[in-house]
Chain A
Amino acid sequence: MLVTIQRYPSRLTQLDTLFELGNGFDTMLDTMLWSAPSRRQLVPALDVAENDNEYAVVAELPGVSKEDISLTVEAGVLTLSGKRAQRTVPENGTWLRNETPSGEFSRSIRLGNDVDVSRISAELTNGVLTVVLPKVEQAKPREITIR
């Protein structure tokens, strides 16, 4: 489900705290930056996970088709944006209840240096977008001989 801006401040505070603590996560989190969305934009809820080989960003985008999602990487920032079209009723129909949000959404994540940008891939399945961000091959420590 797309999350509206009301939920955003608490999330931001939580992340700010993590920034300040500098809690030694050797991960993307330290360098992550959330874009401040404009008031009219929706903010999709997402998870970010990591394993030894890759990061994964998982966002809920129910009712959004592939064509309406844009995913870009620019200057180390991954931006997920698009729109969820407003639902329409048939001409002879009337709304009784409308709980789901519609409109434009956007969210940005600053990537760490360990992401191999050229190999990022994404898939939309059952209203969930999964972006896989492989890590670059770790530069192996090596000894330098002094001549």
Chain B
Amino acid sequence: MTKDNQVAIVRRNNTLPVMRPEAEENYIVPSADVYETPDAFVLLIDMPGVTKEAVNVWIDRGSLVVKGATGRFHGENARLLVRELRGTGYYRVFNLGDGIDRDTIDAQFENGVLSIRLFKNEELRPREIKIK
């Protein structure tokens, strides 16, 4: 993926605990896949209809928060004949373990999928112990 897909991650250490803002009650919880490698956790989150600029990722105390507004799918004068697309945005909180390096989190957005790579601290990584 290119640099153009990079999503900025903001640290908010002294804010209130993570709450779902009332005005955004139409936000839905996006589906996510998570996998682990020896040095990282990778989150793949479905957020169709969000632009890269409208994706917000931040760290609040022990949580990684993901938020994005889809806005309107239809024009001003449109009448809806079938309505299945739900919500006006996405919101999900992931709890981070102690072993995550919070300074090197990497996020990309492509094809409506947000990918977040959380690198492990040294102590979480597997290491081989040499037998003398």
Contacts and interface: CB of A to CB of B under 8 A. Distances in A.
Nearest to A63: B113
Interface of B is mostly: loop
Contacts of B49: 60, 126-128
B117 to A, nearest CB: 12
Contact of A94 (B30, B35, B50, B81): B35
Interface in B35-58: 35-38, 41-42, 44, 46-52
A79 interface: no
A87 B33 contact: yes
Interface string A18-57: 0000000101110010000000000001111111100110
A128 B48 contact: yes
B30 A1 contact: yes
B34 interface: yes
Interface string A65-89: 1000000000000000000000101
Interface string B66-100: 00000001110111111111100000000000000
Contacts of A60: 48-49, 85, 112
A93 B48 contact: no
B33 A56 contact: no
Given A96-B35, A97-B33, A100-B44, A47 B84 contact: yes
B80 A127 contact: no
A51 B75 contact: yes
B111 interface: yes
A11 interface: yes
Given A49-B80, A51-B75, A58 B38 contact: no
A128 B73 contact: yes
A129 to B, nearest CB: 9
A48 B82 contact: yes
A69 B22 CA distance: 37
A64 B51 CA distance: 16
Interface of A: 1, 3, 11, 25, 27-29, 32, 45-52, 55-56, 58, 60-65, 87, 89-90, 92-100, 126-128, 130
Interface of B: 30-38, 41-42, 44, 46-52, 73-75, 77-86, 111-113
28 contacts: A1-B30, A45-B86, A46-B84, A47-B83, A47-B84, A49-B74, A49-B81, A50-B78, A50-B79, A50-B81, A52-B77, A56-B74, A56-B78, A58-B73, A60-B48, A62-B111, A63-B112, A89-B35, A89-B37, A94-B36, A95-B35, A96-B35, A100-B31, A100-B33, A126-B48, A127-B49, A128-B73, A128-B112
